[in-house]
Amino acid sequence: MNLRYYLPTRVIAGKGCIVANAPLLAKLGGRALVMTGKASAKKNGSERDVIAALESQGIAYSLFDGVEPNPDVANCRAAAALARMFKADFIVGVGGGSPLDAAKAAALLARNDLSDAEVFRNDYRNAALPVVAVPTTAGTGSEVTQYAILTNDSIESKSSISWEGCFPVLAFLDSAYTATLSHRTAVNTALDALSHAVEGYLAVKSDGWSRALAYEAMRAFGKTLPRLADGFYGGDLRAELLLAANMAGAVIAQTATTIVHAMGYSLTYFKNIDHGRANGLLLAPYLDFVVAANPEGVREVLAAVGCRDLEAFDDLLGDLLGERETISPDEIRRFTAIALKTKHVGNTARSPEESDIKSLYAKGLRPL
Amino acid sequence: MNLRYYLPTRVIAGKGCIVANAPLLAKLGGRALVMTGKASAKKNGSERDVIAALESQGIAYSLFDGVEPNPDVANCRAAAALARMFKADFIVGVGGGSPLDAAKAAALLARNDLSDAEVFRNDYRNAALPVVAVPTTAGTGSEVTQYAILTNDSIESKSSISWEGCFPVLAFLDSAYTATLSHRTAVNTALDALSHAVEGYLAVKSDGWSRALAYEAMRAFGKTLPRLADGFYGGDLRAELLLAANMAGAVIAQTATTIVHAMGYSLTYFKNIDHGRANGLLLAPYLDFVVAANPEGVREVLAAVGCRDLEAFDDLLGDLLGERETISPDEIRRFTAIALKTKHVGNTARSPEESDIKSLYAKGLRPL
């Protein structure tokens, strides 16, 4: 029994929780940088609540609403420069995975002068600025991870910062902010979170603590995903999804992800397939692949999500995914070469060879 | 969905984990106070390993091996005085719940001048010294809680310090140290941990995070307790028990305990019944009591521990408990009056009246 568990983030969930807990923000300092994407934080009410909470405590703030989807280092540098200029004591990241990860990277860059090559070294001289995370999708779980995943053109994929200094100090979960998501985005982000729970449960690095959180998250997805597939998206369902995604994030904070994520990055980078959807496309073929190495673990996954067998799991995902994208032989060849080089291979319960990865792409998408 | 989760302790488990992770101790300073009970830390090897780890980092240490069973404030003051005299930067608590809770209280008292009345106010001026916790029983889970539970003669029971500053910064779980426990102590401490998981799962304050940890802990107890009742106590079993007790501790850090613990304190204070055994005596009657208020929750508890019904659960506990202690009508009356005054009543899924508590005592013990 070897195990390491560490999650210093304070998680607070509930309707109106940001404003109700505003005094916790005052403990972080008197000046805040608020980081969001272009539009959704304004539409879903999260930006308004964050600003109300800051104002209630007399905290001065500056707004950076230029976080791009799948942000790169340059995008984060711009925010870090503003944080320095404004002398921010802390950063509030508001949005889906992109603004939250960008907030962590900006918090790091605001306190450390790093070349592009140094950004992903996971060894930094100075503590990052404290980060407060307000997720507005039920997906990445970034609010409770030490990861910041950024687009990295130099390797034509995504690269991760993985550093304990990147754990947010506070995460506020208010499912009011996920009400305005499109059905497509709600599904894609849920698929991302489901993938975290399933991958984490079966990861080589899985242990008792991560299994506990993964199992409960999978139980919650088992109850919620069929209703989501039927088009239901009420307040209770959204709250359950947000909490399940949060626990699934805590899972990968302990276990990291596996070949599914490594393979998905190419689908996003080269084919612009949404990150969560990319994982969802590959998840059923992946379970079918690892069952030979860990039949008991796969049985427990199926029991937790309430599927009687692998086919039922494939059907559930099929309902959520709809028609699958095509993939060419050349794409399969190129993406496989990239995935094989990642550390995710070694964290997968059954270590995939080149032919296995090709087969997973072919089963997850529609080969041309 | 209202939820708060916060557990800043870094948990590290595995054979030899203290010595292997000694550099983490050096980050806490150059002078340590080591606190243990009279004998067991010497017998089970934990004291030796802690000292080896400290010496490997050049950390000066002083040893306080005078923690009493069910320690009171005076006992903790003595250790705090030594910590001040020695100018300790941090405290390492080694042992069962008593040394760990005493270490937390001493860490608080070393930095704060408090009258006896002020000790339990949960509001202190100065941060406590950092505490490293090394549990040598699989029971209290104190290594991951903010509680220090001390004997309080002024109310003829136990009182809790409950303060976030008391969370240990580090917890080392090495099941080598539980190998020398008597079967009786192994059973009693396991009953304490089981009670934490079950009470926490059904507590009014329970939520998604605590349910996840409680469910996994109960699954582990379902696998391990029948073997423990059969007298088995091998290395794998001990490791599973230690981890389950750890997760159950994290559960009550979030949910606190319920009427079972409140009732058990009198059995310990007045009748000298071991703390874990006291909870174990009351646990089956308690489940039978709350089923009316939360039948689904009780069903999930039984499923997790692998018992087909309440009777099977009662049988499992009966195997572990053996012959039950007697209790007089006068004791029932007095203990009930004490339990009714506690905040635990309000955290119990079905709020107990005076007659309910009397009935629970009568069912859990042998009325005279």
Among the partner residues A173, A207, A216, nearest to B215 by beta-carbon distance? A216
The two counts, helices (H) then strands (E), for chain B are: 16, 10
Indicate yes or no: CB of B7 within 8 angstroms of CB of A7.
yes
Instruction: Write down the pLDDT at residue A359.
Output: 98
Instruction: Write down the pLDDT at residue B117.
Output: 87
Find the mean pLDDT for residues A88-109: 98
CA angle A50, A54, A59 (to 5 degrees): 150
A65 touches chain B (CB under 8 A): no
A138 touches chain B (CB under 8 A): no
Chain B, 197-216: which have a CB under 8 Å from a chain A CB?
207-209, 211-213, 215-216
Give chain A positions within 8 Å (CB) of B7.
7
- Return the closest-CA partner of residue B59 out of B100, B84, B91: B91
Instruction: Give the ipTM of the model, two decimals please.
Output: 0.92
Give chain B positions within 8 Å (CB) of A7.
7
How are the residues of chain A apportioned to helix, strand and coil, as percentages rounded to the nearest 5? 55, 15, 30
Among positive and negative, which fits the CA dihedral B193, B92, B117, B144? Answer: negative
Closest-CA distance, B36 to chain A, in angstroms, reads 24
The pLDDT-based confidence of A3 (bands split at 50, 70, 90) is: confident
Indicate yes or no: CB of B2 within 8 angstroms of CB of A11.
no
Which domains are seen in chain A, by residue range?
10-177 (3.40.50.1970), 182-367 (1.20.1090.10)
pTM beyond 0.80, yes or no: yes
- Asked if pLDDT for residue A262 goes beyond 80, the answer is yes
- Asked if pLDDT for residue A346 goes beyond 90, the answer is yes
Among the partner residues A3, A211, A242, nearest to B13 by beta-carbon distance? A3
Indicate yes or no: CB of B213 within 8 angstroms of CB of A215.
no
Instruction: Write down the pLDDT at residue B1.
Output: 59
Decide: helix, strand or coil at residue A64. strand
* Residue whose pair of structure tokens reads 């997790």 in the numeric block: B304
* pLDDT digits (tens), chain B, 368 positions: 578 999 999 999 999 999 999 999 999 999 999 999 999 999 999 999 999 999 999 999 999 999 999 999 999 999 999 999 999 999 999 999 999 999 999 999 999 999 998 999 999 999 999 999 999 999 999 999 999 999 998 888 889 999 999 999 999 999 999 999 999 999 999 999 999 999 999 999 999 999 999 999 999 999 999 999 999 999 999 999 999 999 999 999 999 999 999 999 999 999 999 999 999 999 999 999 999 999 999 999 999 999 999 999 999 999 999 999 999 999 999 999 999 999 999 999 999 999 999 999 999 999 99
Among the partner residues B2, B6, B217, nearest to A13 by beta-carbon distance? B2
Indicate yes or no: CB of A212 within 8 angstroms of CB of B208.
no
Closest-CA distance, B339 to chain A, in angstroms, reads 31
A244 touches chain B (CB under 8 A): yes
Contact assessment for residue A138 and residue A245, using Cβ atoms and an 8 Å cutoff: yes
- Asked if pLDDT for residue A1 goes beyond 90, the answer is no
Indicate yes or no: CB of A213 within 8 angstroms of CB of B212.
yes
The two most distant CA atoms of chain B are separated, in Å, by 59
| B204-218 burial: b if 16+ Cβ within 10 Å, else e | ebbbbbbbbbbbbbb
The pLDDT-based confidence of A308 (bands split at 50, 70, 90) is: very high
Local structure of residue A93 (DSSP, 8 states): E
B29: left (phi over 0), alpha (psi -120 to 50) or beta: left
